[in-house]
Structure 1
Amino acid sequence: MNDLAIVLVSGGMDSCITAALARTQHELALLHVNYGQRTESRELKAFHDIASHYRVPKERILITSIDYLSKIGGSSLTDPRMNVQDAQVPAREIPTSYVPFRNTHLLTIAVSWGEVIGARKIFIGAVEQDNPGYPDCRPVYYEAFNNLVRWVPGQQRVSRWRRP
């Protein structure tokens, strides 16, 4: 194994697979962010299980909270008054489960932490095929974010898990 990589881990299937793939070539640092999502308690338990499975040392685990996203609202994932929309939303529509600019907030935390701990790569399990209406799951979004990150010392690169 070589460079240290941060993996954003929600505790869901996509981030679990992303952690497994990242571990094949990198030492892991795991990041979990509570943004006020309704499923946080289950996600946090799964996060701890993943960290334990890979024996990630405590100094390479970061759990943090940005509950202001739930205060901003606009998403059925963070607002219990909103119903979760049917999963079969046309690709041109943004689903109610989209949390406005969530991945940007999560990645910014990862880049900041990566600069401190010397991580050279950041992995996120965002899968466009699952949520084509999510603006922050599209390849063009990650290209733009990587252009921004080039200005950060250490030049971390964001890698996104893609289905084979």
Structure 2
Amino acid sequence: MYDTLVVLSGGMDSAVLLADCLDQGQSCLAISFDYGAKHNGRELPMAKALCNQLEVGHTLVALPFINELFASSLLSSGEEVPDGAYDADTMKSTVVPFRNGIMLSIAAGYAESVAAARVVLASHAGDHHIYPDCRPEFNAALARAVRLGTDDQVRIEYPFAQLDKREIGDLGRRLEIDFTATWTCYKGGLVHCGSCGACDERKYALRHDQGLDPTSYLS
């Protein structure tokens, strides 16, 4: 039996969440999803490496149908990821329809199968309103559905729900997370682009303006 199944993307938020759960003494497993995002090739190896480092069991689930059937600039089948902050209308193109609903449903089924009491996702207070499956209303509704659908064997929880991304970055620094071993950029190049909405938020989170961000950016 396990305490917690962590949905681990390889990004900074979920890496901090895994480290925080372990720091609290929880027994953990991690699950990651390859759904055809442009940056999956960069972040998923980092998720695996982190689990190896922390000696946490890691499962990778391939979801090729998302890239084949869904429309989003975040997917390798989609258009180019736009530059600009998350409050720009163009960033709506990065929405992957019902992505979190699909992934959390799979995670809940896997958690019940391996007797993990809860699934945790690093959804946070700074998640932008353009992502419907990151909103508090959605999170609460899905958590209730999972309790009902598993006879209360599995809970979905969002431990960072009251934190913004900078607070998560600060927590990760206290936990001695190597942020250079996490990935954020939606464009998935060899180096973080520094100009897409995701990079913009990473800079804020890691206090780039204060010289504390160890990430290399193109701009």
- Normalised by the size of structure 1, how large is the TM-score? 0.87
Alignment of 1:118-137 (within 5 A): 118-137=115-134
Instruction: Say whether residues 1:65 and 2:57 are aligned partners.
Output: no
Contact in 1 for aligned 2:71/2:78 (Cα 8 Å)? no
Please state whether the residue corresponding to 1:155 is helix, strand or coil.
coil
Tell me, in whole angstroms, the C-alpha distance in 1 between the residues paired with 2:132 and 2:10. Answer: 22
Instruction: Say whether residues 1:78 and 2:80 are aligned partners.
Output: no
> Runs in 1 of length 4+ with deviation above 6 angstroms?
91-94
Please state whether the residue corresponding to 2:129 is helix, strand or coil.
coil
Offset of residue 30 of structure 1 = 0.5
Contact in 2 for aligned 1:73/1:79 (Cα 8 Å)? no
Larger radius of gyration: 2
Contact in 2 for aligned 1:128/1:134 (Cα 8 Å)? no
Offset of residue 91 of structure 1 = 8.1
Instruction: Say whether residues 1:159 and 2:135 are aligned partners.
Output: no
The answer for the alignment partner of 1:35 in structure 2 is 35
Tell me, in whole angstroms, the C-alpha distance in 2 between the residues paired with 1:22 and 1:131. Answer: 24
Change (3 A) 1:135 1:87: farther
Structure that is richer in strand per residue: 1
Question: Which piece of structure 1 moves more, 145-154 or 78-87?
Answer: 78-87
The answer for the alignment partner of 1:88 in structure 2 is 85
Change (3 A) 1:96 1:63: same
Please state whether the residue corresponding to 1:4 is helix, strand or coil.
strand
The answer for the alignment partner of 1:50 in structure 2 is 50
Structure that is richer in helix per residue: 2
Count, aligned residues: 160
Tell me, in whole angstroms, the C-alpha distance in 2 between the residues paired with 1:14 and 1:142. Answer: 17
* Percent identity of paired positions between Structure 1 and Structure 2: 26
Question: Which piece of structure 1 moves more, 119-128 or 99-108?
Answer: 119-128
Question: Which digits, 9 at most, give the CA deviation of each residue in 1:24-75, with x for residues without a partner?
Answer: 242111001100111122112111121012111xxx3211101111112311
Please state whether the residue corresponding to 2:94 is helix, strand or coil.
coil
Question: Which digits, 9 at most, give the CA deviation of each residue in 1:90-114, with x for residues without a partner?
Answer: 3888711111000011101110111
Gaps of 5+ in 2: 168-219
Contact in 1 for aligned 2:37/2:67 (Cα 8 Å)? yes
The answer for the alignment partner of 2:19 in structure 1 is 20
Change (3 A) 1:150 1:128: same
Q: Which amino acid aligns with 2:18?
A: A
